[in-house]
């Protein structure tokens, strides 16, 4: 049996617009944060995205932030998402849990 690639499947079934592969979920308990930080790693094509369940707004900031950049590997996606979280987790920051984060 031959394993089809994403592109093979999209070619065979033209109604497929996008294929996402859920690689895994990482959960981290963060000091002074009530809810664990969960990061879902998703592959779309050749890119990996980390999707966090928490957003952060710095003290005095206007908007909440979460890193959802595209990365070349699952490890880079995890690291980039964690870096983005801690970059904005400054004293006085507020955290909001995404209610529609689940699979």
User: 58 and 88 in contact (C-beta within 8 Å)?
Assistant: yes
Phi and psi at residue 9, to the nearest 5°: -65, -45
Residue 83 is classified by DSSP as: H
Q: How far apart are CA 7 and CA 18, in angstroms?
A: 10
> Order of strands, edge to edge, in the sheet holding 47-52?
20-28, 37-44, 47-52, 70-71
Q: Give the rounded percent of residues in the chain with a pLDDT score beyond 90.
A: 72
Q: How far apart are CA 60 and CA 57, in angstroms?
A: 8
103 pLDDT above the threshold of 80: no
pLDDT reported for residue 79: 97
Q: How confident is the model at residue 99 (pLDDT cuts 50, 70, 90)?
A: confident
What pTM was computed for the model? 0.84
């Amino acid at each position: 049996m031959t394993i089809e690639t994403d592109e093979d499947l999209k070619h065979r079934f033209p109604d497929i617009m996008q294929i996402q592969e859920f690689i895994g979920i990482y959960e981290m308990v963060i000091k002074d944060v009530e809810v664990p930080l969960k990061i879902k790693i998703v592959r779309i094509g050749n890119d990996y995205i980390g999707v966090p369940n928490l957003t952060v707004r710095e003290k005095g900031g206007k908007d909440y932030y979460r890193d959802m950049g595209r990365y070349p590997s699952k490890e880079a996606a995890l690291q980039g998402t964690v870096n983005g979280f801690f970059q904005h987790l400054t004293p006085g920051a507020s955290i909001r849990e995404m209610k529609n984060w689940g699979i």
